[in-house]
Amino acid sequence: MNKEQLKIKLAVGDRFYPLFVTPAQEEGFRIAAKRINEMIKNFEQNYALQDKQDALAMCAIVLAQECAELRLIANSDVANAKEKLEGLCKLMDMMI
């Protein structure tokens, strides 16, 4: 652990996990742990799960899907921005 890192302990699914994080990362990790715990509770209330591992697996699936969707959106936004910039460059070339 370097001096810029904090040691935090996150509770996820009735277990505690120690982590070393930077101060800038701490809030994000705490928000993520809270969201996972809320998702676990929701899955346990709405589905007949055998154990916490099933709820954690469902959390992983949902979060991975959200991440993949955000990547697709970001890639599409980059492609659209690139297309618009190329169009602007062509217009500027015609004006010169």
Instruction: Read off the pLDDT of residues 24-70 as tens digits, 9 standing for 90 and up.
Output: 999 999 999 999 999 999 999 999 998 999 999 999 999 999 999 99
DSSP codes, 33-70: HHHHHHHHHHHHHHS--SSHHHHHHHHHHHHHHHHHHH
pTM of the model: 0.75
Residue 2: band (very low, low, confident or very high) from pLDDT cuts 50, 70, 90: confident
For residue 70, give Cα distances in angstroms to 8, 31, 44, 95: 28, 18, 26, 37
Instruction: Read off the pLDDT of residues 54-64 as tens digits, 9 standing for 90 and up.
Output: 999 999 999 99
Mapped onto helix, strand or coil, the DSSP state of residue 17 is strand
More confident residue, 92 or 43: 43
